[in-house]
Every structure is written in C-alpha cells, then in structure tokens.
Structure 1
Amino acid sequence: MTTLSNKTSETPRPVVGALLRTARRNRDLTLQELSSLADLSVGYLSQVERDIATPSLGSLSRLAAALELELGHFISIPNTRGLTTSAKDRETIRVREGGMTYQQLHGEFVGASFSAFLITLPAGFTTETDQHFGEEFIEVRSGRVIFEIDGQTYDLEAGDTLHFRSDLRHQARNPENFDAVVFWLGNGPTFQQRAEIAAVATDE
C-alpha cells in the first residue's frame, strides 16, 4: 500500500467551519455574497461552516482569496519555496480529520502555471462536486476511484489515468474500504496565492 507521507504534524488542526464563519462575518458578508465571490453554492458554504461538508484544497483556496486571506489562515501548509521536494521530508496537508490529505509535489516560483499533489482519499470518501476553470490530470497510484464528470462515470484502478476540463462538473469517490492514492496535476485555482508567495520569497 502506498503511504502518503512519513511526516505528519502533531499540532491540532483548526476547525475550518468556525474559522470561515468568523472571517465571513468580520467582513460583513452574507453567505450569498461569499457564494458569488468564491463561485460556490450557498448551500455548500452553509454545510462547510457547520462542518458537515469538507472543502477540497481548491475550494478552500478560492474562499481564502474571496476573503482576502492566505490559505494558511485555515490550514497548516508546508513552507515549500524551492524547486525540489524531498520524498522523506514532505508534509501532509489536511483540511480536516477524516478528509482527503495532500502531499505537495510542485515547486514554487513566479509564473508557475500548475500544481501537483499526491492525494489520499479515505475509504468510502466522496469529494464535493466542483466546477472551475482549468484542466486536471489524474493517475491512480493505488486503490480504486470512481469519477463523475459531466454526467459520465469513469471507474479507475491503479495505473489508470484521466484528463479532463475542470469547467465540467466533476466529483470523485473511493468506493472501497481502504485508502486510494492518486497523483493529481492541474492548473486550476488550487493555490491562487502561489505567485505572490514566490515573489515574496525572491525578495527575502
């Protein structure tokens, strides 16, 4: 079984829902207004604020940008600013306990146009339904993942790949009772502040 990371922080994770609700209210935004800014439905945002739904890293990045916050306001993210990452030292990014985990593979530099992660989907986990600009490439490294893309079903096992436009409604689920690991490559809004982060790094 492929393991995502051998380095996991022991620091308790923040409750995303409470942080999101506080940040929204501090900016005097209604759920409808935040929905328009982040291009996410009101019903979905309500579920996230009540910790019923777990946002993907991409959706959380869009919410952070809409609220003029850094992604690190909601979750702990690795301080990766170089061109390489070490397999033995990579940290795991987790939005919420029990949700997907992400291991960052891409480097950081001004003008970078895509992000890459190893993503683990827990047993029985179903992602949110998403739709945004960009495109995505998936390779299943272990386990099985079923993708629903624009009404079509794609049942993938280890070694299978999938490449699709992100503006098509898409969702993924792990139907098995064990984790699935996928390699994800995309140029959508996963890290909207990457260019700014890299620019700051070059100035230090």
Structure 2
Amino acid sequence: MAGTVSSVGKSSVSSIGTAIRDRRRGLGLTLQGLASGSGLSVPFLSQVERNLAHPSLLSLEAIARALDVDIDYFVGVPTPGQIVCRADEHDRIELNSPVIYERLSGRHAERKMEALRLIVPPGLEAPMVHREGEGFWYILSGTLEMCVGKKKFELHAGDSAHFDQRHPYSMRNIGDTEVRMIWVGTPAIFKDG
C-alpha cells in the first residue's frame, strides 16, 4: 500500500471526514495536534473533516496512525459482533447498585448512544441527577415514577419518556414488583467497547 496515491472513493468520504473529526475530538486533540501527529497541514485536515477534500490512502494512513487506529477504522465494515447483540450476549454492567444494567447496544468503541435494559427493584428511589445528552425511557413492566425538574410523571408498561437529561431528573419504583425498562441515551456512557 505504501506508494499508493489513489484517493478514497467519494461515496465513503463523508463518513470518513465525520469519523476523523469524532475520533480526534474523542481523544481531545486539536486540529493542530492531529496535524503534528500526521505530518499533514491544518487547512487540509479541516477540509477533510468538512468533506471538502478527499484524502489519499497515504494521507488516511498518516491520520489513522496519529489517531491510534487502524485504517480499517475509517473504511472497514463493522463486524457482526459489533453490530448485533444476541439475546444471550447482553453484557451485565457491574455498578455496585441494586439496579441491574444490561447493555443492549453494539460493541463498537465510537458509538454515540447507549441502550440499556434496567431492572429496578420495588421501592427503589434514585436520587435527582442530570447529565449531558438526551434520554429515552420505555417501560416494559411495572410502574415507575419520574420527576423531571418539578414535573412528576407516572409511567406504566408501554409508556415512554424522552427528554434532555441536562434537566435534573429522578426515578422511583412505586409498585410492588420490579420495573423492567429500556433506556437509550446520548452520549454513550460506558466506553469499554
């Protein structure tokens, strides 16, 4: 591959530029830092990230090295194990909590959202919290009381809530049985890939 100067195909360029920008930002790198690590200019990298320039394979290799990934990170198709999570493969996330958290989302490291199944014991009340991003809650069974800001909602099986989690929120299982629910949120909160 060394010495190859062909450009990456146009159909994949927009996803490549976005992937480069997201990886760079995820590592806390500036464009100048990426330029220093790759030997490419800041203006060129800026154009690549905005899909105004098409990197050659050699440029893409230099960018990949600077971002500590293989070139396949930008042009490879994810493996089925990174895309599909079978019913018997859900990872339990150990948090030292009475709530059971099981990951439903894919296993690729750069995912931007998280999908979890939560099992909340009867009577459990979680403290008021807030975090960046959106949250979507879907109740599978049981009765959950949610407070978002000063608003209180009672959610039953089949109900859902979707809100900006920068607003303080809390939850409480007010029923006699466990609450089973799906939570989907951005950004991803468990980055162990």
TM-score after normalising by structure 2: 0.54
| Post-superposition CA distance 1:101-148 (Å, at most 9, x none) | 011100122431100011011010011211121010010000010100
Partner of 2:117: 118
Query: What's the % identity of the aligned pairs?
Result: 21
| Post-superposition CA distance 1:23-63 (Å, at most 9, x none) | xxxxxxxxxxxxxxxxxxxxxxxxxxxxxxxxxxxxxxxxx
Instruction: Give 5+ residue unaligned stretches, structure 1.
Output: 1-80, 199-204
Partner of 1:169: 168
Contact 1:94 1:100 in 2 (8 A): no
Contact 2:114 2:188 in 1 (8 A): no
Partner of 2:86: 86
Partner of 2:55: none
Q: CA RMSD in A?
A: 1.7
Amino acid of the residue matched to residue 87 of structure 1?
A
> C-alpha displacement at 1:92, in angstroms?
2.7
Within 2, Cα distance between the matches of 1:89 and 1:189?
A: 19
Amino acid of the residue matched to residue 84 of structure 2?
T
Q: Secondary structure at the residue paired with 2:126?
A: coil
TM-score after normalising by structure 1: 0.52
Q: Secondary structure at the residue paired with 1:82?
A: helix
Partner of 1:143: 142
Paired residue total: 113
Runs of 4+ in 1 over 6 A off after TM superposition: none
Q: Secondary structure at the residue paired with 1:109?
A: coil
- 1:48-87 paired onto structure 2 within 5 Å: 82-87=82-87
Larger of the two Rg values belongs to structure: 2
> C-alpha displacement at 1:84, in angstroms?
1.6
Contact 1:166 1:188 in 2 (8 A): no
| Post-superposition CA distance 1:70-116 (Å, at most 9, x none) | xxxxxxxxxxx72221212324334236x100111001224311000
> C-alpha displacement at 1:177, in angstroms?
1.7
Partner of 2:103: 104
Partner of 1:95: 95
Within 2, Cα distance between the matches of 1:102 and 1:161?
A: 18
Identify the structure with bigger relative contact order (alpha carbons < 8 Å, sequence gap 6+): 1
| Post-superposition CA distance 1:150-203 (Å, at most 9, x none) | 110010000001001010000001011210011100014622xx2xx54xxxxx
- Please say if 1:128 is aligned against 2:127: yes
Within 2, Cα distance between the matches of 1:120 and 1:110?
A: 25
Contact 2:85 2:106 in 1 (8 A): yes
Within 2, Cα distance between the matches of 1:111 and 1:155?
A: 34
* Counterparts in 2 of 1:104 and 1:110: CA distance versus 1, 3 Å: closer
Amino acid of the residue matched to residue 134 of structure 2?
E
Partner of 1:155: 154
Partner of 1:190: 189
Within 1, Cα distance between the matches of 2:129 and 2:187?
A: 11
